[in-house]
């Protein structure tokens, strides 16, 4: 029994040595495999959610994302919808958004990029307030608070 324990310990230690030696040359391939695991995606609360639909204008594209309400076990009562303007975004943005695609505009957002000022006009009682309105590397992004 004692010998088996010793052999087991040494074998495990040598396996660990091999693991460390192959870790760095294989890091890219191991990381790629890990990235394909089902849970390896950023939570929509942080990523902003999937793009629901996009409106293409002359110089820029408006992405309206899926509303995000997710919680640990079930959906929450409060959430947000993120909208992104990509490309050559004009100095003043004025867009009316139908985030739930029911054919009615839910809110209107006006962004004055020069003054970094954003106004939100809600047409739907589920639309609450502006959470974030910020310049990004691709243009501009805003998050609007929603309730269910």
Partner 1 sequence: MDNSLKISGMEKSFWKSLLFSLPMILITFMFITGGRPNFSDPYEAIALLSVFLLVNILFFLMHFSGKTDRYRAVLFILFAFSLSYTLIRNMLEIRHSMSFSQADLLECKIPFCHLVIPMMILPAAFTKSIIFPGSIISGFANISSMVVLWITATIVLGRGFCSWGCFYGGWDDGFSRVRKKPVIKKINSLWKWMPFAVLLMVALSAALTMLPTYCDWLCPFKTVTEFEKVTSVESAAKAGVFLTLFGGLVVVLPVMTRKRTQCSFLCPLGAVNSLSNKITPFTVKIDKTACTQCFKCVEACPLYALTKEDVNAGKVSVFCSKCGKCVDACSKKAIHYGIKGIPAGTMKSFSRNLFLFVSFLFMAIFSSGAIISTLQNLLKLIF
Stretch that binds partner 1, among 57-65, 95-103, 110-118, 128-136 (CB under 8 A): 128-136
Does position 77 interact with partner 1 (CB under 8 A)? The reply is no
DSSP states of 76-98: -SEEEEEEEEEES--SEEEEEE-
Q: Quick one: which of 20, 91, 103, 115 contacts partner 1 (CB under 8 A)?
A: 20
Does position 39 interact with partner 1 (CB under 8 A)? The reply is yes
Count of positions on this chain that bind partner 1 (CB under 8 A): 48
Interior angle at CA 82, CA 40 and CA 42, nearest 5: 10
Does position 109 interact with partner 1 (CB under 8 A)? The reply is no
Does position 147 interact with partner 1 (CB under 8 A)? The reply is no
Stretch that binds partner 1, among 49-57, 85-93, 122-130, 138-146 (CB under 8 A): 138-146
By C-alpha distance, which of 115, 122, 65, 125 is closest to 93? 115
By C-alpha distance, which of 52, 143, 140, 146 is closest to 93? 140
Residue 24 contacts residue 30 (beta carbons within 8 Å): no
What is the length of the chain?
A: 148
Three-class SS of residue 39?
coil
Min. distance of Cβ 5 from partner 1 in angstroms?
Answer: 4
For partner 1, the binding residues (CB under 8 A) are 2, 5-10, 12-14, 16-17, 19-21, 23-24, 27-28, 30-32, 34-35, 38-48, 70-73, 82, 132, 134-138, 141, 143
């Amino acid at each position: 029994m004692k010998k088996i324990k010793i052999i087991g310990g040494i074998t495990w230690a040598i396996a660990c040595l091999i693991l460390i030696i192959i870790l760095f040359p294989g890091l890219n391939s191991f990381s790629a495999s890990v990235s394909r695991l089902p849970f390896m995606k950023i939570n929509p609360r942080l990523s902003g959610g999937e793009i629901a639909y996009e409106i293409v204008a002359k110089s820029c594209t408006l992405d309206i994302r899926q509303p995000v309400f997710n919680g640990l076990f079930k959906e929450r009562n409060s959430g947000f919808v993120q909208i992104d303007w990509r490309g050559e975004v004009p100095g003043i943005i004025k867009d009316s958004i139908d985030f739930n695609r029911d054919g009615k505009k839910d809110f209107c957002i006006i962004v004055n990029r020069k003054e970094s000022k954003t106004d939100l006009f809600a047409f739907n009682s589920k639309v609450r307030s502006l959470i974030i309105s910020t310049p990004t590397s691709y243009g501009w992004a805003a998050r609007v608070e929603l309730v269910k």
